[in-house]
Amino acid sequence: MKMILKLVTLSLIVSLLIVNIPQKVDATLGVSAASAVLLEQKTGRVLFEKDAHTKRRIASITKIMTAILAIESGKMNQTVKVSEKATHAEGSSVYLKPGEKIKLNHLVYGLMLRSGNDTAVAIAEHVGGSLDGFVYLMNQKAKEIGMHNTHFANPHGLDDHENHYSTAYDMAILMRYAMKNKTFQKISGTKVYKAPNPTENWDREWKNKNRLLSKYKYCTGGKTGFTKRAKRTLVTTATKGDMNLIAVTLNDSNDWNDHISMYEGGFKGFDMAEVLVKGKIDAIKNKYYKDHLFVKKSIVYPATNDEMALFSVKYKLFKPKKKWTSSKNEEIVGKAAIYLDGKVVQETPIYFQVNQEKKKKKGLFDFVKEIFLSVIGVNSNG
């Protein structure tokens, strides 16, 4: 029988002092939106929220999902034949023509910059085979990435279905997912784009409706939205230093200013604190593990000055196995859990490697030896 590994929690909690962290965002920060949220991209931590989990109509910020599905389809260089149905979509449009042939890549730019409902239908028909087929893909992706209070009924956000809704928090989750894609990042942050216009002797020129790209120097992208029932909706992103934020507002008559206000509060109130540094773990003194354990990545987390003394790290390790000492490969032997005020906020695997420290020293010795031999004129063969 295979031995069952027992998880041994070492009562080893390392308190970390984190310096130079600004004060917390003022809890009284007010926004005009019915729902709002400010999210840090790397960790997903919510820095500010107002009624963020209430289901509401979302209008054209729906197109963030349409865009990322198109990008992930692998069909961006394919040519799309625009249907009659697509050209008859109501509302905002880039004025596609029936039978027109245009690359999917151009359609996604028209979707994100000009919020073309005709481009949304054309994309959906090409990527999903039909509107219904694409809507199915939208809802599958929503479940996959954790949008638990969302249901999509169309690719554009028009008020033609009663069961088309999301929340401010879910839309932040979607934007966080989408911003991991380099192509989406580029499209989302483009201010002006030119696309071919086959029936004219001039190219189409699309200017981004996201005015925050010009109004706020730290803005990196986003998507606007409006319908009579949803009112104004807006999702944007902003970067300052090593902090990347996402802001979402639903039903907000003052959305540009509210997004700037949330960003300024976030940048002033939080900093990205390095709670755990990648590399060797020195804190564990157990003779079996000592000098063999390491983590492959640093853990950073947005924190306020009030939280500076509330971080701790707990190392949870499996019961030692003799085979680890004979293995040349790295073995996952547990995890490092980052706690903030007693709650786990991040985790990362702990790896075991045989004679890791000796290997490092040997490598340095060999390097020095090679330099010495080259100086005195001795080649590698003596």
Q: What is the CA radius of gyration of the chain?
A: 26
Quote the CA–CA distance of 209 and 223 in Å, as a whole number: 8
Instruction: Flag whether 376 is in a domain.
Output: no
Residue 346, Cβ neighbours under 10 Å: how many?
19
Residue 359 has pLDDT above 50, yes or no: no
Domain that holds residue 318: 7-19+273-357
Structural contact between residues 182 and 174, judged by C-beta atoms closer than 8 angstroms: no
Q: Which residues contact 71 (CB under 8 A, 6 or more apart)?
A: 108, 181, 183, 184, 187
Nearest to 179 by CA among 239, 265, 106: 239
User: What confidence tier does 379 reach under pLDDT thresholds 50, 70, 90?
Assistant: very low
Strand 343-352 versus strand 243-250 pairing type: unpaired
Give the chain's domain count: 2
AA identity, residue 330: E
Structural contact between residues 243 and 270, judged by C-beta atoms closer than 8 angstroms: yes
Residue 223 assigned to a binding site? yes
Q: How far apart are the first and last CA of the chain?
A: 53
Mutual angle of helices 131-145 and 63-72, in 10-degree steps? 90
DSSP state of 250: E
328: which 2 tokens? 């040349």
**Segment 167-204, tens digit of pLDDT:** 999 999 999 999 999 999 999 999 999 998 877 778 89
Structural contact between residues 252 and 93, judged by C-beta atoms closer than 8 angstroms: no
Residue 260, Cβ neighbours under 10 Å: how many?
18
Q: How many residues does the chain have?
A: 382
Domain termination site, one of 251, 269, 287: 269
Domain termination site, one of 217, 246, 269: 269
Instruction: Flag whether 190 is in a domain.
Output: yes
Q: Kindly state whether residues 168 and 72 are assigned to the same domain.
A: yes
Most confident of 6-10, 277-281, 372-376: 277-281
Q: Kindly state whether residues 154 and 205 are assigned to the same domain.
A: yes
Residue 373 has pLDDT above 70, yes or no: no
Q: Kindly state whether residues 228 and 286 are assigned to the same domain.
A: no
Lowest mean pLDDT among 16-30, 67-81, 260-274, 355-369: 16-30
Q: pLDDT value at position 350?
A: 93
User: What confidence tier does 326 reach under pLDDT thresholds 50, 70, 90?
Assistant: low
**Segment 215-250, tens digit of pLDDT:** 999 999 999 999 999 999 999 999 999 999 999 999
List the catalytic residues: 60, 63, 115
Lowest mean pLDDT among 27-36, 58-67, 356-365: 356-365
Mean pLDDT of 298-308: 92
Q: What is the CATH number of the domain that holds 281?
A: 2.30.140.30
Nearest to 252 by CA among 44, 93, 91, 58: 58
